Structure 1
Amino acid sequence: MKKYYTLTILSILFLVFACSGSDSDATTDIPNDTPKGDPPVAGDTDPLTTQNVKTYMVDPNATAETTALFYNLKKLSKTKFAIGQQDAFNGFYNNGATDQSDIKKTTGSDPALLGSDFIFITDKNNNEQANNWFYQQEQKTISDIKAAYEKGMINTMSWHLREPNKEETFYADDMTAEQKATAFKSILPGGANHEWYKKKLDKVAAVFLKLKDVNGVLIPVIFRPFHEFDGSWFWWGANFCTADEYKTAYQFTVTYLKDTKGVHNILYAFSPDNSYTTSSNYLSRYPGDAYVDVLGMDNYGDLNNQGQAGADKANAKLKILSDLAITKVKIAAMTETGYRVTTSVSPVTDWFSTYLYNTLTANSIQISYMMFWNNSQDGYYVPTPSATNAADFKTFATKTKSALLNTLPKMYEMPK
C-alpha cells in the first residue's frame, strides 16, 4: 500500500499512509521499565544452540552482541514478540511532550524496539557540517540508537533511498517513465550509477561503524534495505526490476557491507509488503539464506478496518513466514504495521487487543517482533494516554505474548 512522507525542518515526521484465539489475562496497568531477566532459553528439540548459531546467520564474523541478538530473537519468538515503533523518540502525536515516547506515556514502558531510517543520512544535501540540518538528523539518529541500546532495546533501520538520477524522491510516481525503467538497473554492478550506489553504502557503513556504546562495543542493528519491493510505489519495486535484478542488488548490498567494508554488527531483514499468499510467492525475490537473517512482512492493508477477516488474512501470511523461519532457522517478524487514527479517522474498537493480537499469535506462529509506524502531529498508530483507544493498546501490551521494554529479556548476552 502506498506511503507518504511529510518533511518538516523542525523535526523528523514520517507521515505514512500505508505500508485465531485471544488472551484473557490482560491487565490495565504496566509498570515502569524494570531490569530484564535472563535471555530466553531454548527447548531441547530446537536446532539452534549457542554453539552453532553463526551457521544460521549471514555473517560468520558477526560481533558477539549481534550473534546474541540473533539467538535471543529466535528464542523469544517461542513465547513472546517484542513491540516496537518507528521513530519512537521523535514522532509524537499532536505535538505532545518530547521527554519520552508516546508508547511510554500511555503504558509506562518504552517500546522494546526502535525503528530508524537512513533517509536523511544518505541525502545528497548532507554535507556533514555541524550547521547542516541533514547532518543534524544523522547525529540525532545515532544518538537515539545509542540511547535505545543503553536501555536494552532492539534497533532496526530501514532505508528510503532517493533515486539515483536527481536524488529527489523514492516514489516511482514522481519519476518519468524512462527513469522508472532504468533507475534500479543502473545501480547494479556494471550499471551507470553503480559507483554512486557504492558511495551511498560507504556512508551507511560509516554510520554502522560509529554505533558504539560507552565501552566502545559495536551496537547491533537489524538493517532492512529495499523493503516493500513486491509493490511498485518505490523505485525498487516489482515493476522496475526483475527478480534476478532485485536479488543481485540485495546480495551486493550485503556482501559489500560485510566483506568490503567490514561491518559485522548487522542482521539483514528481507521484507515485502503483504501481496503474497504462498511460500513460493514470498520467496520469489528471496536472495537466499546466505543473505537474510530476518524474514519480515509489512502489512497495513489486511488490518485496515477489516475486522476478524482481515486479521485472519494477515495471520495466514505470517504463518507462511513463521513456518519458513522455523525451517530455515531464521527470525520471523512483522516489520511494519498499524492503523492510523486522525481527526477524521476514528479508532477501530479492539483493534489492538483482538485483531492485531490474533494476527500475531493465532495458529501457533512464532514472531520475534512487530513494529508500528511513527506517530506524527496529525495522526497516530500508537495512542497517547487521552485517546479513546488507549486502554485497548494497554490491554494489547500486557497480554501473555506481548513484550514492551519492561518485559523484554536481555537481548545482547548469550544465556549461561
Structure 2
Amino acid sequence: MTGQYPGLWGGDLMFHATDVANRQRVVDQAKTEWTNGSLVTLTWHVCPPTGGSTCAFEGGVKSNISSAQFSQIITEGSALNNAWKRRLDEAVPYLQQLKNAGVPVLFRPLHEMNESWNWWGNRPGANGSARLYQITRDYLAGTKGLDNLIWVWNVQDNPAGGWSNYYPGNQYVDVVSLDVWYKSHPSSADYQQMRGIAGTKPMAIAEIGKMPTAALLDSQTQWAWFMMWSEHLRGNNTNAEIQAAYFHPRVLNQGEVVLP
C-alpha cells in the first residue's frame, strides 16, 4: 500500500492469560522494530491488584473497584499497595530486557485515566488516578532503576474536559498524550487544552482510529507522533488517506527517525 513501515511500533503487556504468556514475543518484536529503525511504545491493560495476575477484559481491566480499595492501593505499605507493586514486578523482567538491549520505551501506563471504563480511572485530584501514576513511576524508575522508560501520560478526548485534574506533575511526565475516540480527529480546543497542560513538553496522539489529514498535521504542529489503532487502519481509512499520512513531509517512517 505504501511500501513503508511506520516509524513508531506499539505493543501491550496485556491481561489475558494467553497474552501474558506471550510477553516475551512482544519484547522480541520491540527489539526487532528498534533495530529496524522504529521507535517503541508500550502500554499495559493491567489487571487490578484486587485480583489475580491475569483477567478478562470485561470484569477485569474494565471494572470498578471501591474508593476504599483505591485508597488502599495508593497508601504506602498497605496490602493492596504491596499487591500493586507485585503486579508491577511482573513487567520488570521484560522492561529490563529492553533496557539491557538499549531500547528506550515510550511507556504509557494507566492510559485514559479520565475515563470510567477502567478500574484506575475517573478519579481526579491529587489522591486519584494521578497518584497511582506517581507511585508507578517512582517504583519502576526509582526502585527498579528502569531509566530506559520515557513516561507518557495519557487522557482521552472526553468533551467534559478538566483533563489537567488528572495530571501527576511535570516531574513525573516526559510526554503528554491524547487518545482520540470521541471524534475522528482532535479539535482545535482539544489541541489547545493539551498545549496548556504540556507547556514545553512533547505531546502526542497516542491512539486514533482515523489517519490525521494534511490539514490537521499542518495546523496542529506540536504533535510529536500519532499511533493508529491497528484494527481501524484498513476498515476506517481509504488507501489514499493512509498514503497521504505516510508521505506527509512531517511524518517519519521506519528508518527515517534519527536520534541524537
Q: Same fold (TM over 0.5)?
A: yes
- Change in 2 beyond 3 A, CA 1:227/1:134: closer
Contact 2:125-2:165 at 8 Å conserved across structures:
no
> Are the aligned partners of 2:214 and 2:244 in contact in 1 as well (CA < 8 Å)?
no
Root mean square deviation, CA, Å = 2.8
Counterpart amino acid of residue 203 in structure 1:
E
Deviation, 1:361, is: 3.2
2:33 corresponds to 1:148: yes
Instruction: After TM superposition, list the pairs within 5 Å mapping 1:169-248 onto structure 2.
Output: 169=56, 171=58, 179-188=65-74, 189-211=76-98, 217-238=101-122, 242-248=125-131
Q: In 2, are the aligned partners of 1:337 and 1:373 still within 8 Å (CA)? A: yes
Compared CA separation, residues 299 and 383, structure 1 to 2 (3 A)? same
The size of the alignment, in residue pairs, is 257
Instruction: Note the C-alpha offset of 1:137.
Output: 1.0
- Does the alignment pair 1:314 with 2:187? yes
Residue ranges of structure 2 left out of the alignment (5+ in a row): none
Equivalent pair of 2:205/2:226 in contact (CA under 8 Å): yes
Determine helix, strand or coil for the equivalent of 2:151. Answer: strand
Q: Counterparts in 2 of 1:113-152, with a 5 A limit?
A: 113-120=8-15, 125=17, 133-134=18-19, 136-152=21-37
The alpha-carbon deviation at position 383 of structure 1 amounts to: 2.3
Query: What SS does the corresponding residue of 2:155 show, helix, strand or coil?
Result: coil
1:292 maps to: 173
Determine which structure has greater relative contact order: mean sequence separation of CA pairs < 8 Å that are 6+ residues apart, divided by chain length. 1
Is residue 335 of structure 1 aligned with residue 184 of structure 2? no
2:136 corresponds in structure 1 to: 253
* Counterpart-to-counterpart distance in 1, 2:63 and 2:175: 33
- CA displacement at 1:302 relative to structure 2: 1.5
Structure 1 unaligned segments of length 5 or more: list them. Answer: 1-105, 126-132, 304-310, 340-351, 376-380
**Residue-by-residue CA offset, 1:56-78 (whole Å, 9 max, x unaligned):** xxxxxxxxxxxxxxxxxxxxxxx
What is the TM-score normalised by the length of structure 1?
A: 0.56
What is the correspondence of 1:14-413 to structure 2 with a 5 Å cutoff?
106-120=1-15, 125=17, 133-134=18-19, 136-167=21-52, 168-169=55-56, 171=58, 179-188=65-74, 189-211=76-98, 217-238=101-122, 242-275=125-158, 281-303=162-184, 311=185, 314-322=187-195, 324-325=197-198, 327=199, 329-339=200-210, 352=211, 356-362=213-219, 364-375=220-231, 381-383=232-234, 389-406=238-255, 408-411=256-259
Amino acid of the residue matched to residue 109 of structure 2?
P
The TM-score normalised by the length of structure 2 is 0.86
1:288 and 1:323 map into 2 onto residues whose CA distance is 13
Shift of 1:220: 0.3
- Residue by residue, what CA displacement relative to the aligned partner does 1:291-328 show, whole Å, maximum 9, x if unpaired? 0001000011121xxxxxxx4x5243123324543x3x
Match of 2:51, SS? coil
Q: Which has the larger radius of gyration?
A: 1
Q: Aligned to 1:333, what secondary structure does the other structure show?
A: strand
Structure 1 253/388 Cα, relative in aligned 2: closer, same or farther at 3 Å?
A: closer
CA contact (8 A) 1:273 1:299 kept: yes
Distance 1:323 1:401, change over 3 A: farther
AA aligned opposite 1:164: P
Report the Cα offset of residue 371 of structure 1: 0.4
Compute the displacement of 1:151 (Å): 0.9
CA distance in 2 between partners of 1:197 and 1:319 (Å): 34
CA distance, structure 2, for counterparts of residue 203 and residue 221 of structure 1: 17
2:237, 2:250 → 1: CA distance? 24
Distance verdict in 2 for CA 1:135–1:232, change over 3 Å: closer
Q: Output the CA distance in 2 between the equivalents of 1:135 and 1:316.
A: 38
Structure with the higher fraction of residues in strand conformation:
2
Deviations 1:45-65 (A, max 9, x none): xxxxxxxxxxxxxxxxxxxxx
The answer to whether the 8 A contact 1:322-1:365 is kept is no
**Per-residue deviation at 1:203?**
2.1
